[in-house]
Structure 1
Amino acid sequence: MTRRTRELVVGAFSPSVLLRVGRRLGLFDQRGLEVLEKAVPSSPAQCRALLDGDLDVALTSPDNMVAYRFVPDNPLNETADVRIVAAVDRGLGLGVYGRPGLTTASELKGAAIGVDVPGSGFAFGLYALLESLGLDRDDYRVVTLGSTPRRLEALLAGGCDATMLNAGNELRAEDAGATRLAGLTDVCRPYLGTVLSTVGDRRRADVAAFADALREAAREIWAGNVDDVVVEEAATALRLPEALAKRYLGRLKDPAEGLVVDGVVDLPAMETVVGLRRKYMPALVDGVDVLATALEPSRGLIDPCTTTR
């Protein structure tokens, strides 16, 4: 008798090579899951789809879950029981990139800087990086461009002068002549770039099984057991030539920026994420900082089984 599979819809900004490796290794099939990946155009759209049930889980920035759990004036103007289930990666090359022909940060004065939305985690990281390069917030214009692949397209087409890129998009940018001005982990460390998130206890057993499959795929990648598979999937999903796909493989294995093999959400990294939001977009309700205690277990943001000091 054929075992019945359960469909799980995952929303992601950029194609997930980790997910594709898990599928190639049969890790989802072993757990009775049929995993469908759905591209999302922006963080508000991703969270809207998650809350509406169009997505079962999301591969997203941890800052998005902070915003949509605690901050009333987030882009959706509502909060919900969104939760972080597992850590996925530490940024995968996340950094600020200047358009082809731009070589120094000083050229960004008066320039257009592309972000997903101005009040998002990657935007906060971008502000911190530009500040480290000597630029204040009033030195440049912020333009809303949506997801990372969209920002890459805008950067190369002249729609912005600089933006934050990662997850293979930065490799394509470099190959097209864009300049890496600074890396986020040079300024903000430790850091979490991507987490697996869901709403409440929705499909808890299936979400847990999916998280477990991603951890197993990450272990296989880290151990070097599936290098050829990773390169093939990166080349196809991210449209990378073989040389760049091999660089992406190295990125996945990088201890500072790569995969979080055990899936554990470490609190120091989350403190970095929350600290950036508190610095660049303080959230006050009746004069009280709603994020001051965001990482306390009683606030419910992080599954207690995923955290460690």
Structure 2
Amino acid sequence: MPEGGISMSTRPKRIFVSVSTFILVCILTDPARAQGPPASTVEKIVVSYPSRSITSFPILETARQKGFFQKEGLNASIIYVRGGIDIKALITGDIDYAAASTTAITAFVAGVPVRLVMSYNAHVDQVLFAQPKYRSLAQLKGQPIGSLNPGGLVDTLLRRILMQGGLQPERDVVILNMGGTPERYAALRSGSVAAVMLSAPHSFRAEKEGFYKIAAAVDYVDVPGTGIAVRADRVKKQPGQIKRFIRASLRAIEYIRENRSEMTQMIAHEFGMDQEIAALAYKQLLELLSPDGRHRMDGLQLIVDIARAAQKVNRQISAPQLVDEAPLEEVLREPGWLR
């Protein structure tokens, strides 16, 4: 081995140690672990979210701040873990629950043993914003449009919007892979593209700054957003804990719906938004929230098919194979949940 080099047998170990160490540091420095009942009376769990967005973070943070996890005997550490790494950490046991959907579906199609146990968002949050001079899809013909990785959810939603608007994505526009929402938002502001796909809060900022809202993905193709993923064997080994996690999440969702002023303040504080944008973000969150935690199988199937096509998987895979809602259904049958 060359001096100072890393052998192939050593590199995976170092990568694994790095991911595990990062997660351990997040857990040890999380103030939530210093709160709540004595350690002997609670179960410690680690929950990850892939981005600080309105789709999942407010639910998890509300469950933590309002003590819903603690009331269920769970001492939850809520940490950021980038999408993709979160599923790997889920499988290795470094985290217990992951707020994810697309990454979990992609992993499942590739053969990774994961399951979705509840839905946080019934719909996805993606909007096509354009420079002020463009007022319709037809006017975008021949123009560059910022998207994410080809074959991914954002790119697929964009292509569906264009096709239903009478444009052929491969012929009539130039689709550019520009990275995440902040990068696409920056490209729109710089004028280097005619339009981009955005999600909140950048979508609200774009509208406030005068960019034109061409289309909302939910009006063209309706797929679900974030769900909660677990390792497949956890459903059988720890169904009671999963039910307590679901119960805390449902209480958080209910609290968000019923406390507009407080939640608007929380969004403004946590996301660094002004009150006007925070109010818009709260309204958007209400529209995204799942009514009962159940998954919309038709929308999930579309994402499964997208992942199959991207990975060139020929075997048939149905969305119900990915979902295990038995713990959720047991919770919903408890008094007070079915409305």
Q: TM-score, with normalisation over the residues of structure 2?
A: 0.71
CA distance in 2, matches of 1:39, 1:99: 33
1:133 and 2:165 equivalent?
A: yes
The verdict on how the C-alpha distance between 1:172 and 1:22 changes in structure 2, with shifts beyond 3 A counting, is farther
CA distance in 2, matches of 1:303, 1:284: 25
1:36 and 2:78 equivalent?
A: yes
Where does 1:238-257 land on structure 2 (aligned, <5 Å)? 238-254=271-287
The verdict on how the C-alpha distance between 1:199 and 1:145 changes in structure 2, with shifts beyond 3 A counting, is farther
State the number of aligned residues.
282
> Could you say which residue in structure 2 is the equivalent of 1:68?
107
- How much identity, in percent, do the aligned residues show? 21
Amino acid aligned to 1:211: I
Contact 2:131 2:212 in 1 (8 A): yes
Report SS of the residue matched to 1:177: coil
- The runs of 4+ residues in structure 1 deviating greater than 6 Å are none
Amino acid aligned to 1:221: I
CA distance in 2, matches of 1:122, 1:86: 22
CA distance in 2, matches of 1:92, 1:67: 17
CA distance in 1, matches of 2:192, 2:97: 31
> Could you say which residue in structure 1 is the equivalent of 2:151?
119
Deviation at 1:193, TM superposition (A): 1.4
Amino acid aligned to 2:188: L
Contact 1:14 1:39 in 2 (8 A): no
Contact 2:121 2:226 in 1 (8 A): yes
Instruction: Provide, for residues 159-202 of structure 1, a one-character-per-residue CA deviation record: whole Å limited to 9, x for no partner.
Output: 6543332243321221233322111121123x311111122234
RMSD of Structure 2 on Structure 1 (CA): 3.1
CA distance in 2, matches of 1:220, 1:161: 40
Deviation at 1:92, TM superposition (A): 5.7
**212, 224, 245: which is aligned to 1:210?**
245
Gaps of 5+ in 1: 72-78
**19, 22, 39: which is aligned to 2:60?**
19
**288, 291, 297: which is aligned to 1:267?**
297
Amino acid aligned to 1:252: L
> Could you say which residue in structure 2 is the equivalent of 1:156?
189
Higher strand proportion (structure 1 or 2): 1
Range moving further from structure 2, 138-147 or 173-182: 138-147
Contact 2:115 2:230 in 1 (8 A): yes
CA distance in 2, matches of 1:262, 1:119: 30
Contact 1:50 1:198 in 2 (8 A): yes
CA distance in 2, matches of 1:122, 1:206: 33
**94, 97, 109: which is aligned to 1:57?**
97
Report SS of the residue matched to 1:171: helix
Amino acid aligned to 1:10: S
Contact 1:99 1:158 in 2 (8 A): yes
Amino acid aligned to 2:80: K
Instruction: Provide, for residues 16-57 of structure 1, a one-character-per-residue CA deviation record: whole Å limited to 9, x for no partner.
Output: 1222222221112223222323052xx444444444555433
Contact 2:122 2:295 in 1 (8 A): no
> Could you say which residue in structure 1 is the equivalent of 2:318?
294
Amino acid aligned to 1:262: D
The verdict on how the C-alpha distance between 1:2 and 1:193 changes in structure 2, with shifts beyond 3 A counting, is closer
Deviation at 1:101, TM superposition (A): 5.5
Contact 1:99 1:179 in 2 (8 A): yes
**207, 227, 242: which is aligned to 1:195?**
227
